[in-house]
Structure 1
Amino acid sequence: MSNQSLPPGALEALKRPSNVGDRSTIRKLSDFNEGILAVVTSRNIDLGELTHKFDLLCPRNGCGSVILKAGVGRWVEHDGVELDNEKGPLHPDLPALPTTPGTAQWWLVSPNMMEFENIGFTRPVQQDAAAKKLKFLICAECDLGPLGWCEEGGSEFWLACSRVGYR
């Protein structure tokens, strides 16, 4: 058996989490002076559909995992969903969402979860006895969330525009 050695830095690279981006290039929606207008582009001008022109990333400092590639989600203003407990978001990298009833800005991803690069799901949660169970979307790399939601067994996945990073 020959005596082989690893190239310099190979072991460190293998130990690093996958999909880690350069944190200096990750921006939050609040960093853009124009807000949502700075991150959207036309998907289908005839239908007036807008999509994100940047990759969507985990906003956690030190993670930056790619969640969704540019152009996959469609911008929608839709009813808000309670993602936080009464104390607000559980992590400082997650801004509070508008309280319900009210609307929020979302990236709608469909027809299935295979559109994502890196996403995780919580167990189903029953928020209201009359409503369907929800699963919250989290970063699959570091478990930060909730970043969005989907109905259990549904084909629409909703990411909060203000809860993802942009690069």
Structure 2
Amino acid sequence: MSDQSLPPGALEALQRPSNAGNRSTVRKLSDFDQGVLAVSVSHHKDLGELTHKFDLLCPRSGCGSVILKAGIGRWVESESVELDITEKSLHPDLQALPAPPATTQWWLVTPNVMDFENIGFTRPVQQDVAAKKLKFLICAECDLGPLGWCEEGGKEFWLACSRVGYR
């Protein structure tokens, strides 16, 4: 009968989060002098359309989980959405968004949630009686969020450019 012990360090490597080697490489949009222009590239099929040239990551210090691979989201400037219920709910790793009707910059992912690598959703939230219910997008590994939003049952997923990390 052979001994089936694990090699030294194998158990620790298996228990370590999959992104552990990439934690120090997370950069925020504010780290780039040219903002969204520094992290985007013209889409090869439509030169007027910009996509992100870096993988989008969870911005939480110590997480850095890959949320969306490069080139999937399309850059859109559109009306801001109230993602934070109170000022106290804003995590230090997340930048505050302007209040609606001001605009903000988004990475729009359509038409399928399966384009994401690692995303989670909150329960539906109805912020206004007349408005549709929203689900907030969060990191599926550490639950940081909201990073963005989608309408309940919708096929458009909006990630705030300033609320994700870049690598």
Q: Structure 1: any 5+ residue segments left out of the alignment? A: none
The secondary structure found in structure 1 opposite 2:24 is helix
Q: Which amino acid aligns with 2:52?
A: H
- Contact 1:134 1:149 (8 Å CA) reproduced: yes
Q: Structure 2: any 5+ residue segments left out of the alignment? A: none
Q: Which amino acid aligns with 1:34?
A: Q
- How far does residue 142 in structure 1 lie from its aligned partner after superposition? 0.3
Q: Deviations over 1:71-117 (max 9, x none)?
A: 00000001110001231553100010111111110000011100000
State the match for 1:9 in structure 2.
9
- Contact 2:90 2:96 (8 Å CA) reproduced: no
Report the aligned-residue RMSD. 1.4
Give yes or no for the alignment of 1:76 onto 2:76. yes
Percent identity over paired residues? 80
State the match for 2:156 in structure 1.
156
Q: Which amino acid aligns with 1:81?
A: V
Q: Which moved more, 1:129-138 or 1:78-87?
A: 78-87
CA distance in 2, matches of 1:161, 1:21: 23
User: TM-score when scaled to structure 1?
Assistant: 0.95
CA distance in 2, matches of 1:101, 1:54: 29
CA distance in 2, matches of 1:21, 1:79: 36
Give yes or no for the alignment of 1:132 onto 2:144. no
Query: How do 1:36-51 and structure 2 match up within 5 A?
Result: 36-44=36-44, 46=46, 48-51=48-51
User: TM-score when scaled to structure 2?
Assistant: 0.95
Q: Deviations over 1:125-164 (max 9, x none)?
A: 0011111100000000000000000000000000000000
CA distance in 1, matches of 2:62, 2:19: 11
CA distance in 2, matches of 1:47, 1:33: 23
- How far does residue 36 in structure 1 lie from its aligned partner after superposition? 0.8
CA distance in 1, matches of 2:139, 2:128: 25
- Contact 1:21 1:63 (8 Å CA) reproduced: no
The secondary structure found in structure 1 opposite 2:7 is coil
Pairs aligned (count) = 167
The secondary structure found in structure 1 opposite 2:42 is strand
